[in-house]
Chain A
Amino acid sequence: MNVLMYCLPLMATSTPCCAYLDAGSSSMLLQLLFGGVAGGLVFLKIYFRRLVSFFKAKK
C-alpha cells in the first residue's frame, strides 16, 4: 500500500509555477503520504477537486 502511496505523486503532471512556488504545501502532503492511507486519499481529492472545477469553469 505504501508503495502505491509513493507512486501517486508521480502520476501528477509537473507544471512549475515560480512566483508562488512554495515548499510548504508539498512538504505537508509529503508528511500525509508518509503518514499512511489518508495521505493518498487527500492526494486523490486534490485532483478530483481540480477536475470538478475544470468542468465547472467550462459551463
Chain B
Amino acid sequence: MVAPVFDSGSFRDPDGHVFFYENEIYRTLTTDAVHRMERLLKLSFVKKSIIEGRIIDTKILEATKIFPKDFLVTEYVLWHEKIPYVTYPFEWTFSMLKDAAYLMLDLLSGLLENNFILKDGTAWNICFYNGKPCFYDILSIDTYVEGQPWEGFSQFLQEFLYPLMIQSYQGIDFQPLWRSTLAGIPAKLCYKSLSRSSLFKKGVFKYVYLQEKLSSNKTISEATLKHEFTHNAFSKKALTNLIKNLRLCLETLTVKSDQSVWKNYDSKNSYEEQDVKEKEKFVVEGLKALNPLSVMDLGCNTGRYSLIAADIAPVISCDLDPTCVDQIYLKKNSKILPVVLNLMTPTSSMGWHLNERKDIFTRVKSDSFMALALMHHLCISHNVPLSHFILLLRSIASKGIVEWVDKSDPMVQFLLRNRKDIFKEYTWENFQHLIREHFHIEKTLPLNNGVRQIMLLSEKKN
C-alpha cells in the first residue's frame, strides 16, 4: 500500500484534500464532487479564466492511470498546475488584496451566470502567480440553488473589505492585524478602528456598522434563517446586485501616497549618481555570473534592483514596508513576486496544530539573494550581530550579493544619532572575516569612497 503525502493545511473541505506525488499537486475527489467538477470545467467561463490565469489550470484524472497500484486515493483526482511560491494574504499589499477582492467578485459573478457559486469568500483561496491574483481552490465552487445566500459574504467582508477600509480610511497597515487572526479583521475591530466621520463614507454604514450591530445582537445571532432564503426567494438578481455594490465600494478605496517613510528612500540616500551606476552594473554582471534560478531581494525598498534582477531571473521582492512593496506590485512585472516581510518577525508556522500555514522560508525558496543596503537596519537598529545576519543569508541561499554599510555612512550615523554605539564588532574587517566562513568572495567593489562595499558571493566549497 502506498499512501499519498497530504498537505497538512488542506483538511477543511470534506469534498477533497490536496496531496503531493512526484513533484505534482493533486486533490482527492468525492463522487459528488467529480460530477460537479466535470460540469464546471466544461464551462467556457472557466476555460477562459484558466487561459487568462485567473483560475489555476486544472484537469480531472483517473487515479489508476497515474498512480501506482494500491495507491490510497479516490477513483478520480484533480490535477493542478504547480504554483512556485504561495504567499499569504497578510504578506500582500493594499493593491494586491484589492485585486484579489476584484477577482473574487468577478469569479462569483461569472459563476452565478452559470448556476455555480463560491462556497466561501476567503482570501486563502487566492495566490499571486505571474504578477497577478489566481484562484486555486476549485473545490470551493459549488452548484447554485435559486434563493440561496452567499455563505462567504461575512468572510469576504472580514478578509478583504475591512482590511482595505482601515488602510484606506485610517492609514492603518492591515497586515499585522490580519496575521493575528488568520481570518482578516473582525467587524467590531474594523468598526472601532474607523473614525466617526468614516461612517459617512461609502459602504461603512452598510457593511461595517450594520454587520457589527447585527452580529453582536443575541436575537439575530440565535435566529435560524436558512429556510427564509427559499421561502422569500432571495433572487439571483439580488445576489448580483450585492456583488455589484461590493465592487463599487471597493473602487472608492485608495491609499494615501504619503504613508511611508521609505517610499522616497531611493531618491534620498547617501549615493552619488556615479556610484548608483556602478552599483547597478555590479548587480547585473554579478547576477549573470551567479546564473541563479531565482533571486530573493531582501529589503528591496521600491524595487530598483528587483527590476534589474528580473531581466535575469524571477525575483521575490521582500520589504517590511507595505507601501514600498505596493509600488513594486503596481509595476505589474510578471517575473516579480512582491512580499511584505519583516525579517525581525518573519511568518512562522501557524494555524491548526501549528501546521496549517507554513513559515515563509519553507514556502518561498530561492537559490540566491540580494541584501543591498539592508544590514545596518538589522544590525544597528535591531542589534542583530553580524554573524547572525550572515547565517540568515546562508540559510536562504549559498550565493548572492551583499552590501556592507560602514559606520561612517551618513545613514548609519543617522541611526546612531541618539543612541550609544554598542556595536564594537560592526567593522569591515570583522565582516569580511565572518563572511569567509560561509561564502566565497568572488569580488568586491568599494562605493562612496569605501563607505559602502558591494560583494559578490558564491558557494564556499570545502
> Residues on A close to B: CB < 8 A?
6, 9-10, 12-17, 20-36, 38-39, 41-42, 46-47, 50
Q: By the criterion CB–CB under 8 Å, are B211 and A34 in contact?
A: no
Partner of B238, one of A6, A27, A34: A34
Contact with A along B193-211 (1 / 0, CB 8 A): 0000000000001100011
Contact B234 A21 (CB under 8 A): no
Residues A35 and B238 in contact, CB atoms below 8 Å apart: yes
Tell whether B428 is near chain A: CB-to-CB under 8 Å: no
Cα–Cα, bound, A34→B241 (Å): 9
Q: Report the Cα distance A24→B234, complex, angstroms.
A: 16
Is A38 a contact of B215 with CB atoms below 8 Å?
Answer: no
9-residue interface stretch from B12-20, B219-227, B314-322: B219-227
Count of inter-chain pairs, beta carbons less than 8 A: 118
Whether B232 pairs with A32 at a CB distance below 8 angstroms is: yes
Given A12-B219, A17-B221, A32-B229, also A27-B213 (CB < 8 A): no
* Contact, CB under 8 Å: A15 / B206: no
Chain A, residue nearest B156 (CB): A27
Q: What is the predominant secondary structure among interface residues of chain B facing chain A?
A: helix
A29 CA / B283 CA spacing, docked (Å)? 57
CB nearest to B226 among chain A residues:
A28
A32 touches B154 (CB 8 A): no
Q: Tell me, in angstroms, the Cα distance from A36 to B234 when the chains sit together.
A: 9
The residues in B between 124 and 158 inclusive whose CB is less than 8 angstroms from any CB of A are 149-151, 153-154, 157-158
- For A10, the closest partner residue in chain B by CB is B213
* Interchain nearest-CB distance for A39 vs B (Å): 8
> How big is chain B's contact interface, by range?
35 or more
CB–CB B225/A42 < 8 A: yes
Given that A9-B213, A23-B158, A35-B235 are known contacts, is A29 also in contact with B218, CB under 8 Å in the complex?
no
B220 and A46: CB pair below 8 A?
yes
Q: B234 contacts A32, CB within 8 Å?
A: yes
Cβ contact of B221, chosen from A21, A32, A35, A36, cutoff 8 A: A21
A20 CB to nearest B CB, Å: 7
A26-B234 in contact given A17-B221, A20-B221, A32-B229 (Cβ < 8 Å): no
- Chain B residues lying within 8 Å of A50, measured Cβ to Cβ, are 219
Q: How far is the CB of B245 from chain A (nearest CB, A)?
A: 7
Contact B218 A32 (CB under 8 A): no
Q: Flag if B154 contacts A29 (CB, 8 Å).
A: no
Contact call A26/B238, Cβ cutoff below 8 A: no
Task: Answer yes or no: B214 CB below 8 A from chain A CBs.
Answer: yes
Residues of A within 8 A of B153 (CB): 27-28, 30-31
Select from chain B the residue with minimum beta-carbon distance to A38.
B232
The answer to whether B217 has its CB under 8 Å from any CB of chain A is yes
On chain B, the residues within 8 Å of A31 by CB distance are 149-150, 153, 234, 238-239, 242
- Looking at the assembled complex, report how far the CB atom of B450 sits from the nearest CB atom of chain A, in whole angstroms: 59
Task: Give, as a whole number of angstroms, the nearest-CB distance from B222 to chain A.
Answer: 7
In the assembled complex, which residues on chain B have CB atoms less than 8 Å from the CB atom of A13?
217
| Alpha-carbon distance between A38 and B216 when the two chains are bound, in angstroms | 22
Q: A31-B149, A42-B232 are in contact. Are A6 and B206 (CB under 8 A)?
A: yes
Query: Which residues of chain A are within 8 angstroms of B235 by Cβ–Cβ distance?
Result: 35
With the chains together, A14 CA to B232 CA distance in Å?
Answer: 26
Measured in the bound complex, the distance between the Cα atoms of B222 and A20 in whole Å is 9
Q: Are A21 and B217 in contact (CB under 8 A)?
A: no
Inter-chain contact B215/A26, CB cutoff 8 Å: yes
Min distance, Cβ A23 to any Cβ of chain B, angstroms? 4
- B228 contacts the other chain (Cβ, under 8 Å)? yes
Chain B residues positioned under 8 Å from A30 (CB to CB):
153-154, 210-211, 214
Determine whether the beta carbon of A29 is less than 8 Å from that of B220: yes
Chain A nearest CB, measured from B239 CB (Å): 8
Cβ–Cβ contact A34 & B218, under 8 A: no
Kindly state whether residue B43 has any CB partner on chain A within 8 Å: no
Given A6-B206, A26-B221, A32-B232, output 9 extra A-B contacts at Cβ < 8 Å. Answer: A14-B217, A23-B211, A26-B214, A27-B211, A28-B229, A32-B225, A32-B228, A38-B233, A46-B219
Bitwise interface map of B from 252 to 272 toward A, beta carbon under 8 Å scored 1, else 0: 000000000000000000000
Chain A nearest CB, measured from B207 CB (Å): 8
Give the top 4 A-B pairs by smallest Cβ distance, nearest first.
Answer: A27-B154, A26-B214, A35-B238, A38-B232
A14 CA / B308 CA spacing, docked (Å):
56
**A25-B210 contact given A14-B216, A32-B228, CB 8 Å threshold:** no
State A27–B121 Cα separation when bound (angstroms): 12
On chain B, the residues within 8 Å of A12 by CB distance are: 213-214, 217, 219-220
Most buried by A among B149, B151, B211, B219: B219
Q: How far is the CA of A39 from the CA of B239 in the complex (A)?
A: 13
